[in-house]
Chains A and B, each alone.
Chain A
Amino acid sequence: MSAPTVTRPEGGPSGSPASPPSRLDGVRSYATVIGMLVVVVLIAVARPLFVDPRNLAAVAVDATVLVVLAVGLSVLMAMKGLDLSIAATADLAGYLAARALLDGHGTATAVLIGLAVGLAVGVANGVLAGYLGVPAIVATLGLNLVLTAVGLVVSDNGTPQQLFTAPIDLVKPMLVFGSDSWGPFRLLLLAAVVVVAVVWFATTRTTWGRRIELVDAGARAAELAGTPVRATFASGFVLCGLLAGAGGLMLTARTGLAVPGSAQPFLLDAFTAVYLGATASPRGRVSVVWTVLGAVFVTLLANGLVLLGLGAPWRYGLNGALILLALALGVLRRRATR
């Protein structure tokens, strides 16, 4: 991964920070980044294999699905939205796409089906939370259960769809996307980079991105300033859903397998990535680039835990603790500035 560049989501006309960060702000940001580095170094010392280039390359590919999911979530969370249904969406999208492939409908149709699932979920969430006023957390939690149930039903209680045992002409493009490279770069990695670049540009350089900032800074003020607040809020869910669908497709392509429930761990990871990224960012705000950093760290940590022989309980436990830690650090900043 390239070194994270510090971006200012709203840049201000002169491109300089809106306000000089207080000293504590800097301490918190550095402390978080340094803390991440320390963790990485410690794992590397304990298990040198961890920093082996081949392992790191594998981690980078591993991280792609999480990056795409977390980036979608970060756009939504940048305006106080929230989506607990991304993992279930990714599962369903990946599963239905895989089945379409195996049924011989072709790659294009399969991809469209995957994205359509994401779009439909995003629209449903957007209407519920943006227009009907259901708190985002409740709306997406409800939809999460509905999607999980649908996933179980369409898969006949979780029967996997295996791409790698299927006739190669049916599934080749998908598997190529999941495992092949363009020059030195894995295609999955390139896809993730493209997604990040597009979303970064959209959130920092367009009127849509600016409206998201306005809705975040004050929904009421944005309404009275003539901003289409509901539409903007809903659009975040749509993007989040679409990217969840895309993430599901990438996961299926990478593993060559679609099993309902396999994307579930990404929900927690995505949250941790967004929170850690926001805590580490100099301005303490949710932003696309810092979310990517958070996602890479979370993936590194999971990989390190596996190398250390520590299983799923540690992963859950550490992620939960990291969210609480990020909060505690975030609060230091808030107290310092208010």
Chain B
Amino acid sequence: MAEGIAAAVRGAVVRFGTTTVLHGVDLELRAGEVHALVGQNGAGKSTLVKALMGVNPLAEGHVEVAGSRVDLAGPEDARALGLEIVYQDQPLAPRMTVAENMFLGREPARTGVLDRAGMHRRARQVLERVGALCGPDDVVGDLTPTQRVQVSIAAALAAEPRVLVLDEPTAALGAAESASVFELIRAARAEGVAVLYISHRLHEITSLADRVTVLRDGRRTSVAPAAGLSTQDIIAAMVGRDLEALFPDVPHTPGDPLLEVRHLRSGELVRDMDLSLRSGEIVGLAGLVGSGASETLLALFGDRRSTGDVRLGGRELAASNPRAAVRRGVALVPEERRTEALFPGLSVGVNLTASSLGAHARGGVLSRRRERRTAEDLVERLGIVPRSPAQDVATLSGGNQQKVVVGRWLARGGQLYLVDEPTAGVDVAAKAEIYRHLGELAAGGAAVLVVSSDFEELIGLCDRILVVRDGVVVEEIGRGEVDEEELTARAAGADAADGDTTADPAAPAAEPAPRRAARLRQIGVGVAMLAVVAALVAGSPGFLLSSGFWDVLRQAGTPVLLAAALTVALGAGAFDLSVGAVAQLTATLSAALVVAGVPTPLVLAAGIVTGVVVGAVNGGVTVLLRVPSFVATLGMLFLLVGITLGVNGGLAVPAETYSFLLLGQGFVGPVPAIVITAGVVIAVVALVWRLTPTGLRLRATGDDERTSRLRGVRTGWATVTALVLSGALSGLAGVLLASYAGGATARDASLELLVTALAAAFLGSALTRTFLFDPATAAVGSLFVTATGAGLIANGLSDEWLGGVQGVVLLAAVLVAVARRRALGQVVIF
């Protein structure tokens, strides 16, 4: 074993289903060395890295760390051995703070309590070392792309790793920001860290790396010291085939101007785009990730809000949504084929006619004959394999899927094609065919605008290439004027870095605007709640002032606990619909037990244990069967309602034992016992939620499950823990309810209890900075809902309206929480 090898992958074979992605690749990482990994899209770089990090299981081969063979069952094992990775898309939990993100998965704790001061201090140190322009308490969702990269790297360095893997960390950064990242990497190398560096920017590699491994089609084609390598050598090893054959020459001649774009702005990334296309022309937008090239396509297609002057065929194209753009003959082949373009599970034929339903129907009734003709034509014309239009599109290869997406627009017929990453994940043969189809589109008089991170593709395919940097077209290049390396350099702005004149780059954000808006909203919701209560007090002072005060608090005992229960589940990303039913059941059970003469402490314990069992079943079903928690708990809700009915036989169960009634009706001095119980429980839950590693992991799982998993959090356990805790709290709430009411009612109130808790949970989340669910603020929300109900009744509203008021409060609270995003209200049902 050679000296100083920090980690190695030997003979790695990775298969996805029947496809082999890596064919026996070796990789050695030495301490104090920067090792570059390069290759084209789909060469297997990410797969190899994920194998090293224990994310992708190896079919053959193994991983070595510090000379000894290890078995990595998951990312947490890799992290424990000192392997750290910064992923390309920087997965960070968006609604949590920088410090929390940095320590997620290895939280410093003293006697079970998070060492928050230590986290804060350490985070500040590392952030300073990285030169980051943000603080430990900033919320990640508010950061700029540059800051996110810095935080990701800082998080990795905070672990003082043996091996640091960087997967295209500079992809979203400009030259100036990249320089600071390079300094970091050199500093880490000097400290003896083995760095694995993945990048498409070849000039970065030649200047930064000590050794270079090149992958092609899942095999290692070369490994050599960087010192002797030119970028030409690297490209030769990466590409290794004849470019001419890949780009079939389809003659097409540019005609009249078709698309004129002036001063297009959209979001932060598209700052001021000017471009024009002729019909019969293929134009490429060359930009790095974050340059705004992809976003320009989405803005033109009406999928992003934008301003500026866009004319298509001389007429204004004010596409406010994709539907409007499609009507004008604009077509989009999106970047993410699987999620943005395909309809998996549906047939090739359905996928092909999805954008031209009107042409395949009469009076809204589909014509199977017309659909079949179109589908068969397109399958034939595009050479889609297999040739049956009835095949499920998800079973096709990447190349054939992409042909289907192109074919969908051919079925409709358009004049402007916006094509994003046309050949990502497409094999070489299919690439050539797709290029030919794009050429034929242009030959047929359409204009094609292509965005690709594969610059070789742009050079081979396009009549003109527009270089995009910082959301602006900085330069135009004709066919054959540059090679891939030169284009990469221009897109990165390496040569023009000092002459950069575009608007202030990443102005150091003082007090970020989102934070101020969040404060205003938090205060606004709070003030609105106080105003409602004040108005009710003005109408009928007695209900909240003097003796009424304790009454309202007593009444709130059960709802507050249920709100906390639901919040814990929601906050961990699980929807527990059964909280009300659990409370109803334990109320009935405890009343029945009291009648049977069981002593009060045992009754209390039985209620809590029942809740725990129900929660464990909920968690088990959710995690083991991998079903959405809301369905599992919906089934449980009905089951519990049935069991409750079985226990009480449809009759109310009175419970009159003195010691039991003390729980809900007793007093300690002037303070009702139930208020003390609820207060203590809420305080404990809130502290666990905010101040312990477990709480942090539950919150992180709820915020971003994938990120948490990549950081080594066992998210399945988090879900089970949350549901068990939620069940226990609901069980306790039910016991207190029975004591408070002197028994259990016959009427099933599961849904009312659930809705009250939901309203409280969402109100509570609107009180937090980032709409996180929090037991303490949910308790505040619950107090408000209870006080409102009591106040309205004191003001003469009849009881019958009470449920309705809760429903309205719930809807209002949720609207505050979702108003900004306005996603579709879909629910995962299976």
B808 at the interface (CB under 8 A from A): yes
- Identify which of A13-21, A96-104, A112-120, A243-251 touches chain B: A13-21
B807 at the interface (CB under 8 A from A): yes
CB B673 to nearest CB in A, in angstroms, measures 30
Contact B364 A206 (CB under 8 A): yes
Centre residue among B325, B343, B577, B638 by max chain A CB count within 10 A: B638
Contact B634 A323 (CB under 8 A): yes
How many angstroms from the CA of A12 to the CA of B375 in the assembled complex? 10
Contact A233 B826 (CB under 8 A): yes
Per-residue CB contact flags for chain B residues 321-341 toward chain A (1 = under 8 Å, else 0) read 111011100001010000111
CB A290 to nearest CB in B, in angstroms, measures 14
How many angstroms from the CA of A210 to the CA of B366 in the assembled complex? 9
Contact A145 B826 (CB under 8 A): no
B827 at the interface (CB under 8 A from A): yes
Task: Name the interface size band of chain A.
Answer: 35 or more
Assuming A139-B825, A207-B361, is B389 touching A13 (CB within 8 A)?
yes
CB A21 to nearest CB in B, in angstroms, measures 11
Q: What chain B residues lie within 8 Å of A12 (beta carbons)?
A: 347, 349-350, 389-390
Partner of A316 from the list B638, B806, B824 (CB cut-off 8 Å) is B638
Give the total of B residues in contact with A, Cβ under 8 Å.
Answer: 97
Q: What chain A residues lie within 8 Å of B507 (beta carbons)?
A: none
A168 at the interface (CB under 8 A from B): no
A44 at the interface (CB under 8 A from B): no
B271 at the interface (CB under 8 A from A): no
Contact B825 A128 (CB under 8 A): yes
Closest residue of chain B to A16, judged by CB? B390
Closest residue of chain A to B298, judged by CB? A224
A141 at the interface (CB under 8 A from B): yes
Closest residue of chain B to A315, judged by CB? B642
Per-residue CB contact flags for chain A residues 201-235 toward chain B (1 = under 8 Å, else 0) read 00001111011011001111111111111100100
Closest residue of chain B to A312, judged by CB? B645
Per-residue CB contact flags for chain B residues 631-652 toward chain A (1 = under 8 Å, else 0) read 1101111111111111000100
Q: What chain A residues lie within 8 Å of B357 (beta carbons)?
A: 207, 210-211
Per-residue CB contact flags for chain A residues 124-147 toward chain B (1 = under 8 Å, else 0) read 000011111111111101111110
Contact A145 B806 (CB under 8 A): yes
How many angstroms from the CA of A324 to the CA of B627 in the assembled complex? 10
Closest residue of chain B to A228, judged by CB? B323
B355 at the interface (CB under 8 A from A): yes
Q: What chain B residues lie within 8 Å of A79 (beta carbons)?
A: 826
Assuming A145-B752, A210-B350, is B800 touching A157 (CB within 8 A)?
yes
Per-residue CB contact flags for chain B residues 292-312 toward chain A (1 = under 8 Å, else 0) read 000000000101000000000
Contact A227 B642 (CB under 8 A): no
Q: What chain B residues lie within 8 Å of A18 (beta carbons)?
A: 345-347, 350, 390-392
Centre residue among A82, A130, A318 by max chain B CB count within 10 A: A82
How many angstroms from the CA of A12 to the CA of B752 in the assembled complex? 45
Instruction: State the main secondary structure of chain B at its contact with A.
Output: helix
Contact A317 B824 (CB under 8 A): no
Q: What chain A residues lie within 8 Å of B801 (beta carbons)?
A: 149, 153
Assuming A14-B389, A133-B825, is B354 touching A323 (CB within 8 A)?
no
Contact B827 A221 (CB under 8 A): no
Centre residue among A157, A222, A225, A317 by max chain B CB count within 10 A: A225
Q: What chain B residues lie within 8 Å of A148 (beta carbons)?
A: 803-804
Per-residue CB contact flags for chain A residues 297-320 toward chain B (1 = under 8 Å, else 0) read 000000000000001111111111
Q: What chain A residues lie within 8 Å of B807 (beta carbons)?
A: 141-146, 149
Assuming A13-B389, A221-B340, A327-B635, is B824 touching A130 (CB within 8 A)?
yes
Contact B350 A224 (CB under 8 A): no
A160 at the interface (CB under 8 A from B): no
CB B373 to nearest CB in A, in angstroms, measures 8
B368 at the interface (CB under 8 A from A): yes
How many angstroms from the CA of A131 to the CA of B824 in the assembled complex? 7
Contact B827 A316 (CB under 8 A): no
Q: What chain A residues lie within 8 Å of B326 (beta carbons)?
A: 225-226
Q: What chain B residues lie within 8 Å of A220 (beta carbons)?
A: 339-340
CB B379 to nearest CB in A, in angstroms, measures 10
Contact A331 B827 (CB under 8 A): no
Contact B334 A224 (CB under 8 A): yes
Partner of B814 from the list A138, A205, A229 (CB cut-off 8 Å) is A138
Assuming A18-B346, A136-B825, is B322 touching A223 (CB within 8 A)?
yes
A62 at the interface (CB under 8 A from B): no
Partner of B332 from the list A130, A206, A224 (CB cut-off 8 Å) is A224
How many angstroms from the CA of A320 to the CA of B637 in the assembled complex? 7
Q: What chain B residues lie within 8 Å of A314 (beta carbons)?
A: 642, 646
B819 at the interface (CB under 8 A from A): yes
How many angstroms from the CA of A156 to the CA of B642 in the assembled complex? 28
Assuming A318-B642, A321-B639, A327-B830, is B365 touching A206 (CB within 8 A)?
yes
B153 at the interface (CB under 8 A from A): no
Partner of A327 from the list B375, B627, B646 (CB cut-off 8 Å) is B627
A328 at the interface (CB under 8 A from B): yes
B513 at the interface (CB under 8 A from A): no
B110 at the interface (CB under 8 A from A): no
A150 at the interface (CB under 8 A from B): yes
Contact B371 A13 (CB under 8 A): yes
How many angstroms from the CA of A191 to the CA of B627 in the assembled complex? 36
A334 at the interface (CB under 8 A from B): yes
Q: What chain A residues lie within 8 Å of B824 (beta carbons)?
A: 129-130, 133, 219, 229-230, 233
A330 at the interface (CB under 8 A from B): yes
Q: What chain B residues lie within 8 Å of A136 (beta carbons)?
A: 825-827
How many angstroms from the CA of A56 to the CA of B810 in the assembled complex? 43
Partner of A312 from the list B650, B752, B798, B827 (CB cut-off 8 Å) is B650
A259 at the interface (CB under 8 A from B): no
Assuming A142-B808, A145-B751, is B301 touching A224 (CB within 8 A)?
yes
A48 at the interface (CB under 8 A from B): no
B10 at the interface (CB under 8 A from A): no
Contact B621 A327 (CB under 8 A): yes
Contact B800 A149 (CB under 8 A): yes
B118 at the interface (CB under 8 A from A): no
B318 at the interface (CB under 8 A from A): no
Q: What chain A residues lie within 8 Å of B830 (beta carbons)?
A: 278, 327, 330, 334
Contact A205 B366 (CB under 8 A): yes
Contact A134 B349 (CB under 8 A): no
CB B392 to nearest CB in A, in angstroms, measures 4
CB B440 to nearest CB in A, in angstroms, measures 21
Contact A217 B303 (CB under 8 A): no
Sample of 17 A–B contacts (CB below 8 Å): A12-B349, A18-B347, A131-B822, A133-B821, A133-B825, A149-B804, A152-B803, A210-B357, A220-B340, A224-B301, A225-B326, A225-B354, A226-B355, A278-B830, A313-B645, A319-B642, A327-B635
A positions within 8 Å CB-CB of B: 10-19, 77, 79-82, 128-139, 141-146, 148-150, 152-153, 157, 205-208, 210-211, 213-214, 217-230, 233, 268, 271, 278, 286, 311-321, 323-324, 327-328, 330-331, 334
